[in-house]
Amino acid sequence: MEHDDDGVDEHDTPAEVDATFRTLRRVAITHVVLFLAALMGVPALSLTLGWWSDGRLAGGMSPGFAMAAFGLYAFFLVIGLAAATLSSAVEARMLGGRHDGEDDGYPEDGELR
Amino acid sequence: MRTGSALLAATIGGTWAVVYLVTQVLVSPPLGVGTTVAAGTVASVLLVLGYPSALRGPRAPRALRPLSRRRIVVGGHRMPLRSGLTADAARRTATLLRPLLGGDAVVITDRDLNLAFVGPGSDHHQAGGPVRAAAVRSAIGTGRTVVSRRASTMGCDAPGCPLRSAVVVPLVVGERVVGTIGVFRTHDEPAPRDQIEDMASILSLHLELAEADRERKLASDARLDALRAQINPHFLFNILNTIGSKSRTDPDEARQLLLRLSDFFRYAVRQEGQLAEFAQEYFFVRTYLSLEQARFGDRLRVRYDIDPQVLTAHVPVLTIQPLVENAVKHGLADKVEGGTVTLRARVDPLTRTTSIRVTDDGVGMTSDTLDALGGGEGADGARGGVGLRNISERLTALFGERFTLDIQSTAGEGTVVEVRVPLR
Amino acid sequence: MTVTSAGTLLALITLVALVTLVVRPRGASTVDFYLAGQRVGVATNALAICGDYFSAASFLGVAAAVYVSGLDGVWYAVGFAAGFVPVLLFVAAPLRRFGEFSIPDFLGRRLASERVRLVAVGVVQIVILSYLVPQAVGSGITWQLLVGHGLPGLSAYATGVVLSTAVVAALVAFGGMRGTTWTQAIQFLLLLGALVWLAAAVAGSGFHYSGAVAELSAEPLANPVNDEAGWHLRPENNHLDPAAPATFGQPGAAYGPLAQFALILTLVLGTAGLPHVMNRYFTSPTGTAARMTTVWVLGLAGLFYALAVMLGTAARQQIAAAVDDHPWLEELTVDGILRVPEHALPVLGRIYGGDSGLAVVAAGALVAVMSTIAGLLLAAAASWGHDVYERHINPRATQSQAVWAGRASTAVVAVTAGGLAIAMQPEEITPAVPSIVAAMVTWAFAIAGSALTPVFLLAIWWRGTTAAGATAGMVVGGLVSVSMFVVGALPVGPGIGEMLMTPTLVSAPLAALVTWLVSRATTAPDDVERQWLVLHGTAADRYAERLARLTIAGPGSAPGRPGRRRRRDADR
């Protein structure tokens, strides 16, 4: 089995990093806009939409209260997870593509036995 | 997870179902129809827009982008200047770049000589001759871009010289100007300055990397020598012995050990600088101990007490594994029932120190041996190898007085070696 | 306080101490969890970050805010939880990859300027102090409720303050309490455990969340005030709709329209600038792991705050109903409503669990406070000792001098925070804000979000940031936010007061603008390109992952075994 010497020497070229950086910046800004829209939207809806505060969800809470009390946290988790997996996927694709298909025989993700 | 329009359709259907449920069924009074439809539409639009990037990731970038105004990508070609600013590299670079820089002729110089000239006028602008063009000398002297429309500043004394305008950008490594790249044109309007400055900064980066490569090679040569001189030949001998004997009875494991050994040396010789992340030292220690455990079997027990915070701290390279090696060789090797080696590592954020402690419950040392320990002599393995004095000297060189190296030992009970270095 | 609750409290604290000291990973395999992104390591680091982040404000203050203001108090919970989303999107991975140890280190090296570093140290110390004072206040209030009387010469409140700051300062300076990952993680688990227990007890006794909200919103929201007429209930003004009364489930009980947004935005921007939390990001093995750690933190924070909001609601409903059965509630309440809202959770614990219940909740609160105080003191003292003392005052310091500098700064910071907490009589400020502890922590978030976050974001995502720009931005952001809430603390009138208390809406964009303008006019540092390779490239990450795989693979793994294909190959 041959060991590629360059395998020890990981480096990225400036052009690759620049392209990745621009993509990730775009991803981050998109997600933050979505995040802020939802976050600011909950109090904003209470100012504009009567149903948001007056409707009664399952016997008691208004939709506004339900969102603030647990809906938003679920949303944060989802958007965080989406952004994190997308960013990691972008980085994996756009950087370090030199070693396609190399299988150095060691278990991926370091599974313990 | 299957991609495809079926999934998208299902998600959109599900979203509408949820919207309907939440606004019409679960809530009383239900939301007005108009607002519900608006909310559902917004959600669906967002889903459709976000779907490709969410499930697939962005499309891979094309390898070579067409020339844009602000950025130049010479993707795919290995920049010749990575090997340094030589005439040959300069000529290849100039030839490579000439079509990209929007000019007719390209010159690359170092501080004193024209290294390469490619394009019309190359008959009298000689590569190898001294730098005469005032524009180039000015760029070298001031470290700034020079744009010129006068033929006289371009060093053209030959009457038939077709070149009319020049843009000369210095190549800078750190704070020094090491050369220039100049783009000439046969008409009066000079080449676009931004592109050339971008290219010059990329070239400067390559030159800087070339210098770093050179220094690293020098340092690693020295380190290789040091390593070679100091690696305990007995370690190598014993491991190869074990490998040899296992190769009959258990060839798979023998192959494993060989691979581990080669990994160890591959990473050991590729050091950059004097400090390495603790995770790397930990790798050395693990590798070393798994090799030794193949030999000692149950007689060598190991315990780790490592705070995760320490894994990213930088410690002097090849300081921990030798300490562990000492513990195994001199503490436990002579003890019949074997013993335990403990490696403890902590970070102290209050005083900004990293502390590493290697403990063994082996035979210990008498006070005489303790004193003689600083010697680090002997290639035959008697308290030799990577001597503690070597480690101490390196620590002094790196940290002055801001480190401690403590050795405590009781004959018959064990030894404790503790190193404390500033947190880097 | 009775013997039972004192005993339970002591037992719990001892248990925590024992567990953190004795239970420690021993084998190689457990350390391996932390190498390059193994899931257990990421989760544990997330627990440690939560241990630093969740303080008295989160535990007592959020429930108190909900108790007093209903939906307007829930914005605290939302804001605290939301803060980690910008961290994940913009800060987590590049910060880790750059590899420094603290925010001033990062900014100083990124912008190649010692002045930036010093200004950042100044801002960081102010943030730390403003985060410390409410912790001391929170422990004073808890001690007041738990014990009721103090050491001779001191009030109960002052005793609580002094004991918590002194004990923790001593542990940090001399006791080797260094906030290791383990201890912080376990302390957070205890905190979460206390909260979950309380929530389970409340839910198990027939508490219906939706119904409670509806019931509480059926009548106007009224809270105790102490004026010339003595203690009595006064209905809250509805800042959104002055004609209607304020109710529990509707917004407007505490904040006007603009102030609602201002509060949330303050909290969201501030998290990225909290020094003791950000310092933990440097211990993730790779940038990608730092990102995934933040995802875990988001999940844990969401769970925590959802429970806290529910408990605040339960407190409002159940305590009012329980006054008849529990005579000790008489002196704490006015017509069934607590005078000091921070008592909500401990009282709830006592109602549902007797004295042991009180002890459990008190233990959770005290542990939260102490672990946060420890983290803050460490961050502050390390900064004074390293950034200021070793680099400027005494560059030739020996090891022991550095140790003493660290200890001295711990003591000074602790004394300052304690003194400020005692000087600041909580009863004076209580009527103006829903929860004194949560409000004070908001100041820390405001300064961090105005002075540090904009500069941080620009330094990581824009090549053109310069040292002069960053200095100007930090100074402007800090000065504007501090002056705005000094003005807001003066009696200026209802709507304006809250607005000024959460100045980030104005000061953060201002700081960003100033940074941008000044950076345009000055030159960027020379090695920006190389820094970009480190900040946004993953070469070091890949190396670390590769090294981790090699380290973990034991001698028994065969090279020919087909491993799973790398994730970047599989286009699934």
- Alpha-helical regions (H) of B270-412: 278-296, 320-326, 367-372, 388-399
- C-alpha C106/C-alpha C214 separation (Å) is 49
Count of residues in chain C: 572
Q: Which helix (H) or strand (E) holds C506?
A: helix C504-521
Which residues share a beta bridge with C224? C233
Same domain, B183 and B244: no
Q: Quote the pLDDT of residue B228.
A: 47
Task: Give the rounded percent of residues in chain B with a pLDDT score beyond 70.
Answer: 77
Which residues from chain C sit within 8 angstroms of residue A16, using beta carbons? 537
Say which DSSP state B113 is in.
B
> Over pLDDT 90: what percentage of chain B?
4
Say whether residue A54 is in contact with chain B using an 8 A CB cutoff.
Answer: yes
ipTM exceeding the 0.90 mark:
no
Strand partners, B179: B110, B171
Round to whole Å and give the CA distance between C17 and C167: 14
Indicate whether B266 and B411 sit together in one domain.
yes
Determine whether the interchain pair C544/B279 forms a contact, defined as Cβ–Cβ distance below 8 Å: yes
Bond prior to C242 in cis (omega within 30° of 0):
no
pLDDT of res. C560: 34
Tens of pLDDT, residues B253-287: 778 777 777 766 666 555 556 788 888 888 878 87
pLDDT the model gives residue B99? 77
In B282-321, the residues whose Cβ lies within 8 Å of chain C are 282-283, 286-287, 290, 293-294, 302-309, 311-312
The three-state (H, E, C) secondary structure of C100-142, written as one string:
CCCHHHHHHHHCCCHHHHHHHHHHHHHHHHHHHHHHHHHHHHH
Residue B177: which CATH number?
3.30.450.40
Q: Is residue B243 situated within a structural domain?
A: yes
Taking residues B184-193, report their average pLDDT.
Answer: 82
**CA-based nearest residue to C444, from C283, C272, C300, C567:** C272
For residue A113, the model assigns a pLDDT of 36
Half-sphere exposure of B247 (CA within 13 A, CB side): 9
pLDDT attached to residue C487: 79
Contact C31 B282 (CB under 8 A): yes
Which residue in chain B has the smallest CA separation from A84? B54
Question: Positive or negative, the Cα torsion across C12, C17, C20, C26?
Answer: negative
Residues B361 and B254 in one domain: yes
- The answer to whether B27 contacts A8, with C-beta atoms less than 8 Å apart, is no
What CATH number is attached to the domain comprising B254? 3.30.565.10
| Distance in Å, alpha carbon of A45 to nearest chain C alpha carbon | 11
Same domain membership, residue B86 and residue B23: no
Tell me the H-state helices in B105-192: 134-142
Beta carbons of A3 and B262 less than 8 Å apart? yes
What pLDDT score does C93 carry?
93
User: Would you write out chain C's pLDDT as a tens digit for each of its 572 residues?
Assistant: 566 666 777 777 777 777 666 666 566 666 777 776 677 788 888 998 998 888 877 888 899 989 988 888 899 999 999 999 999 999 999 999 998 888 898 999 999 999 999 999 999 999 999 999 988 888 888 787 777 777 777 788 888 889 888 988 988 888 766 777 878 888 888 889 989 999 999 998 888 888 888 888 888 888 887 777 777 888 888 878 788 888 888 888 888 788 888 889 999 999 999 988 888 888 788 889 999 999 999 999 999 999 999 999 999 988 888 888 888 888 788 888 888 888 889 889 888 888 888 888 888 888 888 888 888 998 898 888 888 887 788 777 777 787 888 888 899 999 999 998 888 766 555 555 667 788 788 889 999 999 999 999 999 999 999 999 999 999 999 999 888 877 776 666 655 666 666 788 889 999 999 999 999 999 888 889 889 989 998 888 888 888 888 777 754 433 333 333 333 333 33
Asked which of B217, B248, B280 is the last residue of a domain, the reply is B217
State the nearest Cα–Cα gap between B152 and chain C, in angstroms. 32
User: Which residue in the set A18, A31, A77 is minimally distant from C299, CB to CB?
Assistant: A77
End-to-end alpha carbon distance in chain A? 23
Whether B167 and B104 map to the same domain: the answer is yes
Is the same domain home to B252 and B359? yes
pLDDT digits (tens, 9 = 90+) for B315-343: 887 788 888 888 888 777 777 888 889 99
Query: Does residue B334 sit in the same domain as residue B397?
Result: yes
CB neighbours (10 Å) of residue C175?
Answer: 12
- B222 belongs to a structural domain: no
Our CA angle for A42, A48, A52, nearest 5°, is 55
Same-domain status, B210 and B259: no
| Nearest alpha carbon to residue C500 among C480, C517, C526, C519 | C480
Taking the C-alpha atoms of residue B345 and residue B88, their distance in angstroms, rounded to an integer, is 50
Indicate if B326 and B263 belong to the same structural domain.
Answer: yes
- Whether B223 is covered by a domain: the verdict is no
Q: Sort out which chain C residues have CB atoms less than 8 A from A107's CB and list them.
A: 549, 552-553, 557, 561, 563-564
Task: Name the neighbours of C, counting chains with at least 3 Cβ pairs within 8 A.
Answer: A, B
B206 and B327 part of one domain = no
The answer to whether position B56 is within a domain reads: no
Same domain, B147 and B244: no
Q: C162: closest CA among C181, C143, C179?
A: C143
Q: How far is CA C176 from CA B419, C48, C183, C367, C406, in A?
A: 17, 17, 12, 17, 12
Give domain status of residue B17, yes or no.
yes
Query: How far apart are the CA of B275 and the nearest CA of chain C, in angstroms?
Result: 13
Q: Is B301 left (phi over 0), alpha (psi -120 to 50) or beta?
A: beta
Higher-scoring residue by pLDDT: B93, C298: C298
CB atoms within 10 A of CB C101: 20
Are the Cβ atoms of C288 and A91 closer than 8 angstroms?
Answer: yes
The string of pLDDT tens digits covering residues A53-82 is: 877 777 678 888 888 888 999 999 999 999
Distance CA C254, CA C546 (A): 54
pLDDT of residue C431: 52
CB pairs under 8 A between A and C: 215
Residue ranges making up the domain that contains B207: 71-217
Residue B66 lies in a domain: no
pLDDT at C88: 95
Take residue B37 and report the two structure tokens written for it.
């439809």
| A96 close to B (CB below 8 A) | no
Of B36-40, B239-243, C332-336, C461-465, the one with minimum mean pLDDT is B239-243
Considering the domain boundaries, does residue B11 fall inside one? Answer: yes
* Structural domain ending residue among the three candidates B184, B217, B250: B217
CB contact under 8 A, A65 and C74: yes
User: What sign has the CA pseudo-torsion C56, C60, C66, C68?
Assistant: negative
Facing A28 at nearest CB: one of C90, C211, C212: C90
Residue B313 and residue B363 in one domain? yes
Q: Does residue B65 fall inside a structural domain?
A: no
- Which residues does C238 contact at the CB level (< 8 Å), separation at least 6? C244, C245, C246, C250, C252, C253
How many domains in chain B?
Answer: 3
